Homo-oligomer: A and B are copies of this chain.
Amino acid sequence: MTSQSLLDGLVASARPLAAQGKPADYIPALARSDPGAIGAAVMHVDASLVVCGDARVPFSLQSVSKALALPYVIDSLGEEEVFSRVGKEPTGDPFNSIIRLEASRLKRPYNPMINAGAMVVTSLMPGATVEEKLGAFSRYAAPLLGVARLDLDQEIRDSEAATANRNRSIAWFLRDLGLLGAEVELTLDAYFGQCALLVDAVGLAHYGAVLARDGLEPGSGRRLMSPRAARVTKGLMQSCGLYDGSGEFCVEAGLPAKSGVGGGILASARNRLGIGTYGPALDIRGNSLAGVHIIAGLSKGLDLFCL
């Protein structure tokens, strides 16, 4: 069992790191985050929970939503349909890179954990309107996060839409390659929506615990997602989950994880527990400094290194 003192110690030792990074500043709403906020939660597969710090502070999913959208479209459309449009390989490139869409032989995004691949995934979400798409996705994702419903931060969504020139460029390129399952604007609208969904560290820990049992709800053991969707998602989190810091994280923590520029990181330890962290001060690759520190510390302290 995770001891409260271990988690408290890691959160305390993470505090000085916040000064080494800063919140994402491309969106005013994100830039206003408290850079000193830090929270962490561990949920075991029996549903027992340990929390510390700002574990109940809501923040936007941002790229963590990629780890929810992927299993959703896999469970909705089947794996084959999804991976005919996006690959499974890490790239070493920044999250918003467009180069490989033109330069690679494959002419498709390398994986669903970078923006280009994630937009393809979002475009495949069932539904004719953005409300239908996000509504159905939220109904899939809420139980995974252990909540009754998902709220959306409209201010973040709006400012994301207003500043998303690069994402818009990527989306039109994907359209040119024939990879989108919906119109560009509808896809972008849904993508910004999924990124603006609110979560807290406890919710991420809950989802980590669901993944830890390949899709079963902590405690109850109720099936929330297919085992295959859980494994594919964890496999891609493992090799691509922290942008161009994925390889180093794999060495340090040895756990599948997914970060977002909202400051959250989600991690999962097979058959044992899920971890959720919050810390909006990011390193240059866009990963939460506090979150990486805490998860690596938990991996060491609880012997979670899975390799």
Binding site for B on A (CB under 8 A): 87-93, 97-100, 102-104, 110-111, 165-166, 168-173, 175-176, 231-232, 234-240, 244-248, 250-252, 254-256, 268, 270, 305-307
Contact = CB atoms under 8 A, between A and B. Distances in A.
Contacts of A104: 92
Given A102-B98, A173-B98, A250 B244 contact: no
A251 B239 CA distance: 9
Contacts of A172: 165-166, 168-169, 172
Nearest to A175: B165
B166 A176 contact: yes
Contacts of A165: 172-173, 175-176
B111 A247 contact: yes
Given A169-B173, A236-B247, A238-B250, 5 more contacts: A98-B99, A98-B173, A166-B172, A169-B172, A306-B306
Given A247-B111, A248-B89, A307 B166 contact: no
Contacts of A248: 87-89
